Amino acid sequence: MSERSTGIVIIGSGFAGLGMAVQLKRNGFDDFVILEKSEALGGTWHDNTYPGCACDVPSHMYSFSFELNPRWSRMFAPQPEIRAYLERTADKYRVREHIRFGTAVEGMEYDEERRVWQLALAGGAVLTARAVVSGVGALHIPSFPDLPGIERFQGTAFHSAEWDHSYDFTGKRVAVIGTGASAIQFVPKLAERVEHLALFQRTPPWVQPKPDRAIAPPVRKVLEKVPGAPRAVRNLIYWTLEARAVGFTIDPRLSGPQERLARWHLRRQIPDPELRAKVTPDYTIGCKRVLLSNDYYPALTRPNVEVETGGVAEVRENSIVTRDGREYEVDAIVYGTGFKVVDAMADWRVVGRGGLKIQEAWADGVQAHHGTTIPGFPNFFMMLGPNTGLGHNSVVFMIETQIQHVLSLLRLLQERGAETVEPRPEAMRAYNERLHRRLRRAVWNEGGCDSWYLDANGVNRTLWPGHTFEFWAGSRNARPEDYVLT
Ligand code: NAP
């Protein structure tokens, strides 16, 4: 077992890890490494390569504020372009040389005597660090449904985040399980190629038109040449998205116009009343992520596509049987069934001060101070930690706010000549009480749906309850009185 030492370890090289790395560098903290389990950078934008994969937040907003890109080819850029943007950013700010690829962190434990974190890496090596920033995000461990007989299936089966590009879907009979943000992007692409597509829907999503269009080269030229133009476009998108979210952030009763838009879209794109009834949600819009698509509903109207709502009773060697006894012979199953979110955090092997396991710290539910720090876990900072997710705007904005928060804590350590920082339990409790008081009345709890936003007790552990500028105002600078410095 070899042991090496470094200042700060960043886990993951997606938007969170790269953003943190760039800002560390710009602020004079050069002694850091990024540990990336894959062989390439990009995080979720490296893993997800399914056909049709694209951003569902406008790209001028879904990008770093310090690295605006006037050359986005579309309003909602496709995955390869977003990945290329992250690659370019890593090169421009010279953070690639800090990345160790193919290095998975299996667990980490705080050494109280030496005031360092010991990170156990896959393969047996140990890395010692003064501070750890987790940039692993919430959406990287595929979740497979617990369907009886799933292991018996003899055909090809994979998850949308692990797309098998060697499999030729042409002329095949395919089952897709799930109708979430990923599935609605790849279903239209698959439908064009397969002989038959059976789409297993458990809960229909609310779908609105996607205001997507190519950005014409002359417009891109203007954005490149006119100083301030990309910033102005970004600001316009930011405030439009915030304005549309009043139903989520203030009161679900304000969501009427959003629901009417979705119903209009549905009526316009699905003329058949029977199919329309099948895919009409029965819960308040916003309770689950509102999806944007112009080609999802048209794909469902194709003669080779069937929407199955009967529920899966069993998977057999070459078929799927529904609860009402229908059997679909299939060559392949694609799982668009999302990611392990709350459980994934609870599975972490992170041990803090005094042998405190993160699961013990979270016995009453997953929580953190400003979604970033936890009492008992000195110098451990989480990007997109508990209650920092969004349904209405770009999470890159939340990540950048958290980066400012972490930088303010690192500066505090320097100013006070201290070695470690962790939040006071009472400060974290007060922060979370306020947050959860607000969440109790929100659409994610009141909207009549179940979602991965909620934990086993029905408590929302994933989303920020308000406008993103509220998070920015309250969290970008840490309040020194909330922390214990050692
Ligand atoms: P998801 O939104 O969690 O959707 C999973 C789908 O699988 C849901 O329709 C769910 O049904 C269904 N499902 C899960 N378990 C099932 C079971 N046992 N039996 C039947 N159906 C089952 O996952 P996702 O589509 O991968 O998206 C996850 C998140 O990734 C999104 O919310 C979004 O934040 C992000 N994302 C973003 C983009 C983007 O463009 N930026 C694209 C894709 C994903 P129920 O609704 O009934 O649970």
Task: Mark which of 301, 322, 338 sits at the end of a domain.
Answer: 338
> Does the CB atom of residue 59 touch ligand 1 within 6 A?
no
Q: pTM here?
A: 0.95
Is 454 in contact with 460 (CB distance < 8 Å)? yes
Contact 402, 372 (CB under 8 A): yes
User: Residue 69's domain spans which residues?
Assistant: 3-140+340-485
Establish whether residue 409 lines the binding site of ligand 1, counting it when its CB lies within 6 angstroms of any ligand atom.
no
Instruction: Check whether residue 309 and residue 356 sit in a common domain.
Output: no
Q: Which two tokens stand for residue 271?
A: 């003329």
State both tokens at 21. Answer: 């790395």
CB of 182 within 6 A of ligand 1: the answer is yes
Residue 394 belongs to some domain of the structure: yes
Contact 119, 105 (CB under 8 A): yes
> Does residue 176 contact residue 336 with C-beta atoms inside 8 Å?
yes
* Cα-to-centroid distance, 202 and ligand 1 (Å): 11
Nearest residue (CA) to ligand 1, atom 21 = 178
Tokens 């829907």, residue located:
201
Same domain, 480 and 398: yes
The string of pLDDT tens digits covering residues 210-221 is: 999 999 999 999
Query: Domain containing 325 — which CATH number?
Result: 3.50.50.60
Establish whether residue 452 lines the binding site of ligand 1, counting it when its CB lies within 6 angstroms of any ligand atom. Answer: yes
203 CB under 6 A from ligand 1?
yes
Does residue 197 belong to any structural domain of this protein? yes
CA of 120 to the centre of ligand 1 (A): 31
pLDDT of residue 347: 74
Same-domain status, 160 and 296: yes
Q: Within this chain, do residues 297 and 377 fall inside the same structural domain, yes or no?
A: no
Counting Cα atoms < 13 Å in the Cβ hemisphere of 408 gives 19
Residue with CA at minimum distance from ligand 1 atom 43: 182
> Would you state the torsion angle of the CA atoms of residues 214, 258, 64, 215, taken in this order, to the nearest 10 degrees?
10
Do the domain assignments include residue 57?
A: yes
Cα(33) to centroid of ligand 1, in Å? 32
Residue 327 has a pLDDT of 98
Return the structure tokens found at 431.
């922060």
Task: Judge if 154 and 123 occupy the same domain.
Answer: no
113 C-alpha to ligand 1 centroid (Å): 44
pLDDT confidence of residue 114: 95
Q: Kindly state whether residues 397 and 381 are assigned to the same domain.
A: yes
pLDDT band for 344, please (50, 70, 90 cuts).
Answer: low
**Which are the contacts of 4, defined by CB distance < 8 A and separation ≥ 6?**
125, 126, 127, 128
* Alpha-carbon distances of 336 from 143, 162, 201, 311, rounded to whole Å: 9, 10, 10, 15
Nearest CA to ligand 1 atom 46: 203
Residues 68, 42, single domain; the answer is yes
Last residue of a domain, one of 275, 308, 338: 338
Write the secondary structure of the chain as one string of H (helix), E (strand) and C (coil): CCEEEEEEEEECCCHHHHHHHHHHHHCCCCCEEEECCCCCCCCHHHHCCCCCCECCCCCCCCCCCCCCCCCCCECCCEHHHHHHHHHHHHHHCCCHHHEECCCCEEEEEEECCCCEEEEEECCCCEEEEEEEEECCCCCCCECCCCCCCHHHCCCEEEEHHHCCCCCCCCCCEEEEECCCCCHHHHHHHHHHHCCEEEEECCCCCCEECCCCCECCHHHHHHHHHCCCHHHHHHHHHHHHHHHHCHHHHCCHHHHHHHHHHHHHHHHHHCCCHHHHHHCCCCCCCCCCCCEECCCHHHHHCCCCEEEECCCEEEECCCEEEECCCCEEECCEEEECCCECCHHHHHCCCEECHHHCEHHHHCCCCCCCECCCECCCCCCEEECCCCCCECCCCCHHHHHHHHHHHHHHHHHHHHHHCCCCEEECHHHHHHHHHHHHHHHHCCHHHHCCCCCCCECCCCCECCECCCCHHHHHHHHCCCCHHHEEEC
User: Which atom of ligand 1 is nearest the CA belonging to 139?
Assistant: 30
Residue range 435-463, pLDDT digits in tens: 999 998 888 988 899 888 998 899 999 99
Does the beta carbon of 55 sit less than 6 angstroms from any atom of ligand 1?
yes
Q: Which residue, by CA, sits nearest to atom 24 of ligand 1? A: 338
State whether the beta carbon of 58 lies less than 6 angstroms from ligand 1. no
Does the CB atom of residue 336 touch ligand 1 within 6 A? yes
Going from the Cα of 177 to the center of ligand 1, the distance in angstroms, rounded, reads 10
C-beta 289 within 6 A of ligand 1: yes
- 13 shares its domain with 28: yes
pLDDT of residue 340: 86
Q: How far is the CA of 160 from the centre of ligand 1 (A)?
A: 10
Mutation probe of ligand 1 site: the residue of 61, 75, 176, 182 with most atoms within 8 A of C-beta: 182
Q: Are residues 193 and 62 in the same domain?
A: no
Asked whether residue 374 falls in the same domain as residue 468, the answer is: yes
pLDDT at 220: 97
Rounded mean pLDDT of the chain?
Answer: 95
| Between 464 and 140, residue with greater pLDDT | 464
What is the distance between the alpha carbons of residues 133 and 150, in angstroms, rounded to a whole number?
Answer: 37
User: Which atom of ligand 1 approaches the CA of 203 most closely?
Assistant: 47
Question: Is residue 148 included in any domain, yes or no?
Answer: yes
Please check whether residue 258 lies inside any domain of the structure: no
Q: Which of 107-111, 211-215, 240-244 is predicted least confidently?
A: 240-244
Please give the tally of structural domains in the chain. Answer: 2
Clarify whether residues 376 and 296 are in a common domain: no
Statement: residue 1 has pLDDT above 50:
no
Start-to-end CA span in the chain (Å): 30
What is the C-alpha separation between 44 and 137, in angstroms, rounded? 9
394 lines ligand 1 (CB under 6 A): no
122 and 151 together in one domain: no
